[in-house]
Amino acid sequence: EIRLSLVGSEMCIRDRLLGDIMVSLEKVVSQAEEYGHSTTRELGFLIAHSMLHLFGYDHMEEDERVIMEAKQNEIMNGLEIYR
């Protein structure tokens, strides 16, 4: 069972709209199964990953990937959501 609560559909900081995050729960379930971890972990990862993109992080270049991956790990560990 997956429970998802959203305060709003838009991500804002100081009244500045950063964008929307859309998550397919079917994709969450299938990717969790594919990668062998919980749906909670997959949903948390997808939201953290998406938020980092909204904050301007990217992973197209190796140096960007390393930074973004470290931020993702920091977020997930801070939430105590592990693989």
Q: What is the pLDDT of residue 64?
A: 97
Q: What is the pLDDT of residue 8?
A: 52
For the record, the structure tokens of 73 come out as 């790990």
Q: What is the pLDDT of residue 3?
A: 43
Yes or no: say if 25 and 17 are a contact pair by the CB < 8 Å rule. no
pLDDT tens-digit profile of 5-62? 444 555 556 666 777 888 999 999 999 999 999 999 999 999 999 989 988 999 999 9
Helices then strands, counting H and E runs in the chain, come out as: 3, 2
Residue 67's pLDDT band (boundaries 50, 70, 90)?
Answer: very high
Q: What are phi and psi of 41, to 5 degrees?
A: -65, -45
Q: What is the pLDDT of residue 66?
A: 97
71/68 Cα distance (integer angstroms): 5
61/34 Cα distance (integer angstroms): 25
